[in-house]
Amino acid sequence: MRILMVEDAGDLAEGVVAHLARSGIVCDLAPTLEDARDCRAVQRYDAMILDINLPDGSGLALLREVRAEADRVPVLMLTALSSVEDRIAALDQGADDYLGKPFDQRELEARLRALVRREADRKEETITLGPLSYAPRDRSARLDGAQLDLTRREAALLDMLIRHAGQYLSKARLYDSLYGFEDADVGVNAIELYIARLRKKVAGSGVSITTQRGVGYRIGLDG
């Protein structure tokens, strides 16, 4: 799961990012609306955490932009403005949930997971590529009916590849889908390791992951 948090309170935001990371959730942080727009331009998110009062405007403006694009990404408003009128205004403009400050980190995570599950229920239950079937809801996969044993990173990588089956995805794009923008502990070449592991798990099935040097990786069917 990858989340965008738009929040200018540094200590609070860093605490959320650290808590979510311990649960295996990548959270990119944008302290301004402009930063959030830049993040959205290069990355798709499973959900957004959005403050209302930001240094360069109202988070509601970004919410309206997102919904005007027909983007149904779940949005959780997180703000100190907790009156009934504030909640109604946010929900009327397309927010999916609302959590007032201060809050419990565990509740924030639970609400995010609930929003993402709800959105997943609206989407296709499985994606099929020949003998390979993939369930986005829980990032599980079956090959010829048998469950594939995937690590969290392998499942996230397969998620990106199979959603774009037939298209080459760059190493940098795949890296960004697995790790946060500021994760300096893991190099981009780690993608090669996970690609190799996935190839072994689908070997001989008719499903292949091909490499085009300088372009990226693609999943598809042999022939």
pLDDT of amino acid 156: 85
Domains, the chain, with CATH or none = 2-122 (3.40.50.2300), 127-221 (1.10.10.10)
> At what angle are helices 152-163 and 171-178 packed, to 10 degrees?
130
pLDDT of amino acid 82: 64
**Tens digit of each residue's pLDDT (9 = 90 or more) over 81-106:** 767 777 788 888 889 998 888 889 99
pLDDT of amino acid 137: 72
More confident residue, 122 or 64: 64
Mean pLDDT value of segment 54-71: 89
- The pLDDT mean for the chain works out to 87
Mean pLDDT value of segment 60-69: 88
> What six digits make up the tokens of 176?
């960004």
Please, are residues 174 and 217 in contact by the beta-carbon 8 Å criterion?
yes
pLDDT of amino acid 120: 67
Residue (of 129, 155, 160, 133) closest to 222 by Cα position: 129
How many other C-beta atoms can be found within 10 angstroms of the C-beta atom of residue 55?
Answer: 10
Regarding beta strands 97-100 and 75-79, do their DSSP bridges make them parallel or antiparallel, or are they unpaired?
A: parallel
pLDDT of amino acid 29: 95
